[in-house]
Amino acid sequence: MEPTLAYLREVLSNYLDSHTSIPRHIYQKIVTKPYPNEEAFVRDLSQQEIAFLDRILPREIRYALNEQDTVRAHHLNEVYELLF
């Protein structure tokens, strides 16, 4: 699995039980489809899925930076920048 998508999958695992079905759909896409890169993944997202990621990724990126995990923040930011 592409490293950026692996980080995103890990983040989404925190949202599987406490939100709508949208994070589960995104998580399943990452797990079941062999995306070659994050661009291909983002192109496959619905508008609802994009909106969900747009809401959670800034918070997750800030958290990674606060924890001084710059690698994680970088990978999550790569997905965030591709959303729009």
Cβ neighbours of residue 7 closer than 8 Å, sequence gap 6 or more:
72, 75, 76
d(CA 1, CA 29): 12
Number of domains composing the chain: 1
What is the pLDDT, as a whole number, of residue 2? 85
- What range defines the domain where residue 75 resides? 3-82
Residue pLDDT tens, the chain, 84 long = 789 999 999 999 999 987 689 999 999 999 999 999 999 999 999 999 999 999 999 999 999 999 999 999 999 999 999 998
What is the pLDDT, as a whole number, of residue 1? 73
